[in-house]
Amino acid sequence: MLAHGAGGSARDNWGPLLDDLATRRTVVAPDFPGSGDSPAEPGELSLDDLADRLVAAADAAGLDGFDLAGYSLGAAVAVRAVTRHPGRVRSLLLLSGVAGGSQRFRLLADQAFALAGHPELMANQLLTVVFGRTWVDALPAEQLAELRTALAAAPLPAGFHAQFDLAARADVRAELARVGVPTLVVSTTEDGLVPPEQHRALAEGIPGARLVELTAGHLPMVEAAARPPPGRPRGRSGNTRPGGGVRPVMRIGELARLTGVSTRLLRYYEEQGLLRPARSAGGYREYGEGDTVRVRQIRGLLAAGLPTRVIVGILPCASGPVPALESCPDLLATLRGELAELDARIGELTRSRNALAGYLDTVGPAAPLPAVPLPVAA
């Protein structure tokens, strides 16, 4: 069973995978109201209704139990199907999934509604928010222009507004603990529409869920199905990643040499959730080119005085090795909180130094203490 995302359809979202899946499995991929061949319906959509429709589609196909894959909004619908219809869903795959509680997504939905009558601006929005930045940046100018034209010419489905409105309202976080089926959460790390924080919320809330990452934007199926952009490594060795062609593999020693960080520290970053290397068949850690940038980002954020517990939450907002931080939910409040803690520690150190100098003054005359410059927050 496949549940598509807001503003898409079963064919639009799952199309590149349907033929291959159908050779091995019974595939049921219904369209939500207003998508594909399913007509739009009056009134607001609800997770309950869409979850019921998935189960009804399974009934119509003669399926008692079924495996369920949900993409974007479809991931929230899939969670609701599990909790609303116990015993029907055997396992879950949640791809680029909506967990809920994101005010930023509400703003993005409102912006999409405002751009609905401006197809060229909508195409720009898709290219800068929905597709992965690595994939888009690697496109030749001519291919990028063709893609932009095609996106501007594609009509929006009749259910676009209702489905995006539901995606902005949906919140399944409170019911994740009741999901009792094997679950794989796939996080698209360059997703600007439904960011990785949402995917991690799904994985952390569902008991025993496994989280894996793809270097891709919000449409990994489309990026993977398209011809790999020129300039990406190609060859027989390496790990494939959607949207990225073949990825060269390096071991931990090579990553340590390239970044100047010891293997012990690299393992520590992994323990803290900052690095997530793949594993070879023999159990060896395998890293890609993006991991060298990730390590430099970690070092830069550590140099700014941020603890690893904070860095793990803001790494998805980082771009470039320096790194630059893009706007993400709660990022500003997090940084302000850390700056306040640094200021408080500086104040405590200043008071301690003054107290120690006072004690030295009472002991007797001595050479003046050298001035110690203290960092001042900008």
User: What CATH number should be reported for the domain whose range is 2-225?
Assistant: 3.40.50.1820
- Asked if residue 281 has pLDDT above 80, the reply is no
Range among 11-15, 152-156, 186-190, 257-261 rated most confident: 186-190
User: Domain map of the chain by residue range?
Assistant: 2-225, 249-329
pLDDT at 317: 80
CATH T-level topology, domain 249-329:
Multidrug-efflux Transporter Regulator; Chain: A; Domain 2 (1.10.1660)
Task: Output the six-digit token pair for 173.
Answer: 């976080």
pLDDT in tens, 214-242: 999 999 988 876 644 443 333 333 333 33
Q: Is 234 exposed, middle or buried (0-12, 13-18, 19+ CB in 10 A)?
A: exposed
pLDDT of amino acid 210: 92
Average the pLDDT over 321-348 and give the result.
77
Look over the chain and give the mean of its residue pLDDT values, rounded to a whole number: 85
Confidence band for 249, pLDDT divided at 50, 70 and 90: low
Q: What is the pLDDT of residue 240?
A: 36
Joined tokens for residue 180: 């009792």
- Rounded to two decimals, what is the model's pTM? 0.61
pLDDT band, very low/low/confident/very high, at 365 (cuts 50, 70, 90): low
Residue 149's pLDDT band, with cuts at 50, 70 and 90, is very high
158/250: higher pLDDT: 158
Overall average pLDDT of the 244-248 stretch: 40
Instruction: Evaluate if residue 175 carries a pLDDT over 50.
Output: yes
Q: Average the pLDDT over each of 25-29, 104-108, 367-371 and give the range with the smallest value.
A: 367-371
pLDDT at 243 > cutoff 70: no
pLDDT at 48: 98
Q: Is the per-residue pLDDT at 54 higher than 90?
A: yes
